[in-house]
Amino acid sequence: MLMVVGWRLLDEEGGLKLQCLWKLRDFKSGVELINRIYKVTEATDHFPSLHLEGPNQVRAELWTASIGLSMNDFIVAAKIDEIKTSDLAPRKRIWA
């Protein structure tokens, strides 16, 4: 089975899915990440299920409804992994 670093393999609703979670700085960062994911996946015509959960978490799930997981799901996951997210991540507190 192929894997993409940072993505989990789930067995839900009778089928396999890839899932990735991002903890972000705030709600606005979550919306921005969803927009970045959309821009990357638009060219592939293969869209993940995207969920903005709470004020600072985004969940993406990939699968093909008719056949379960396909090679396209792994390709899209790898493309999503290339998205820059460091500017959206929570700021680290530094204690002096």
pLDDT single digits (tens) 8-17:
999 887 789 9
Q: Which two tokens stand for residue 34?
A: 């969803």
Q: How far apart are CA 49 and CA 62, in angstroms?
A: 6
pLDDT in tens, 54-91: 889 999 999 988 888 999 999 999 999 999 999 999 98
pLDDT given at position 96: 64
Q: Which two tokens stand for residue 82?
A: 């290339």
Q: How far apart are CA 72 and CA 58, in angstroms?
A: 21
pLDDT given at position 49: 95
pLDDT given at position 2: 63
Pairing of strands 49-53, 57-62: antiparallel
Whole-model pTM?
0.86
Domains of the chain in start order, with CATH, are 8-81 (3.30.1360.20)
Q: List 17's β-bridge partners, or say none.
A: 10
pLDDT given at position 85: 93
The pLDDT of residue 94 is above 80: no
Distance in angstroms between the alpha carbons of the first and the last residue of the chain: 46
